[in-house]
């Protein structure tokens, strides 16, 4: 890590995610998915996704907007993952805007939320309640619950790392971060410069997940009720609030070099040591292709860092 270049918090506005053998980058409503095919070529699909209630005033309200961003990320994530998978199994290709695909996406999202609620809310709470009842100290409930929730998540992340496809996905995740960090550091987006950039980024979804867990511990500590059912219901009902607050923090972290913000971002960056890995040069090429499909990094460097167009010419 000591030889990696770190960005100076010059916000570019782009973000993305890793997909099967590729990278998705999003800039505003536009997104592009670049995938490395089995023959070595890179295919790029560019499209637009406006999101839930796009253009409405509610999308501008702090905290509330964070929950919609989360939903949009899940929907778009499923869409681009399905596309990347279709590159290796053409029979799986489908129109994401068709009523059938929208229904399937909705059902998958609903099932995912139910499973997540059971695994990361109901299970930790049940075990923590059992332990605190035996200890005779209910004040420890939220702390034990939070520790269990984090432990389950870390075990899950570590367990799926054993899968070859997941390890490659983590490498493409690293490629995504390196490409963004490269241009936000003021460097031309080349394989060599991206390779030297850090694979950790404050705006990562892994950091968001860590913030969700930490904020839930703080918030639930001040919510007291004797009803076990009501406690579980409140934990589910408050998910939009917790995710909204987490979004605001990570949004601030991605645009600030404030020492306090940097400090509270550390746990999320540590998490990324597990959810990202060093990509090879071919993976970086895919990430660069995805960026260039939706983002004019030469114009960005000229505007933000005063670099001349001649120095950035390919």
Q: How far apart are CA 135 and CA 239, in angstroms?
A: 28
Q: Both tokens of residue 291?
A: 């960026």
Ranked by mean pLDDT, which of 67-81, 134-148, 280-294 comes out on top? 280-294
Where are the domains positioned within the chain?
14-307
Put the strands of the sheet holding 42-48 in their side by side order. Answer: 14-19, 22-27, 30-36, 42-48
Q: Tokens in use for 159?
A: 């367990």
Higher pLDDT, residue 9 or 291 = 291
Q: 261-276: per-residue pLDDT in tens? A: 888 889 889 999 999 9
Residue 314 has a pLDDT of 54
Instruction: Write out pLDDT tens, residues 33-86.
Output: 999 999 999 999 999 999 888 889 999 999 999 999 999 999 999 999 989 988
Count Cα neighbours of 55 within 13 Å in the Cβ-side half-sphere: 3
Q: How far apart (Å, rounded) are the C-alpha atoms in residues 66 and 184? A: 23
Q: pLDDT at residue 242 above 90?
A: yes
Q: How many helices (H) and strands (E) does the chain have?
A: 13, 4
Q: What pLDDT was estimated at residue 95?
A: 64
Q: Which has more pLDDT, 158 or 104? A: 158
Please say if the pLDDT value at position 1 is more than 50: no
Mean pLDDT along residues 195-210? 92
Q: What value does the mean pLDDT of the chain take?
A: 88
């Amino acid at each position: 890590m000591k030889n990696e270049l770190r960005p100076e918090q010059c916000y570019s506005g782009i973000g993305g995610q890793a997909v099967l053998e590729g990278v998705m980058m999003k800039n505003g409503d536009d997104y592009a998915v670049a995938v490395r095919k089995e023959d070595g070529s890179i295919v790029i699909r560019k499209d637009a996704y406006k999101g839930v209630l796009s253009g409405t005033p509610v999308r501008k309200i702090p905290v509330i907007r964070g929950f919609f961003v989360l939903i949009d990320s899940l929907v778009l994530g499923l869409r681009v993952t399905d596309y990347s998978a279709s590159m290796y199994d053409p029979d799986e290709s489908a129109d994401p805007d068709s009523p059938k695909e929208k229904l399937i996406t909705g059902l998958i999202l609903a099932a995912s939320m139910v499973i997540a609620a059971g695994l990361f809310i109901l299970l930790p709470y049940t075990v923590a309640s059992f332990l605190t009842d035996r200890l005779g100290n209910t004040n420890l409930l939220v702390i034990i619950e939070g520790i269990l929730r984090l432990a389950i998540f870390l075990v899950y992340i570590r367990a799926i790392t054993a899968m070859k496809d997941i390890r490659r996905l983590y490498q493409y995740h690293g490629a995504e971060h390196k490409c963004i960090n490269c241009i936000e550091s003021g460097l031309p987006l080349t394989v060599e410069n991206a390779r030297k950039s850090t694979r950790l980024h404050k705006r990562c979804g892994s950091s968001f997940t860590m913030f969700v867990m930490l904020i839930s511990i703080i918030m639930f500590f001040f919510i007291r009720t004797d009803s076990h059912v009501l406690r579980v219901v409140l934990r589910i009902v408050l998910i939009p609030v917790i995710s909204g607050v987490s979004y605001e923090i990570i949004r601030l972290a991605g645009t600030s070099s404030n020492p306090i913000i940097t400090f509270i971002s550390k746990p999320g960056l540590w998490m990324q040591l597990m959810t990202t890995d060093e990509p090879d040069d071919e993976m970086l090429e895919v990430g660069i292709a995805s960026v260039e499909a939706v983002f004019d990094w030469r114009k960005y460097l000229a505007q933000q860092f005063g670099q001349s167009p001649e120095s950035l010419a390919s």
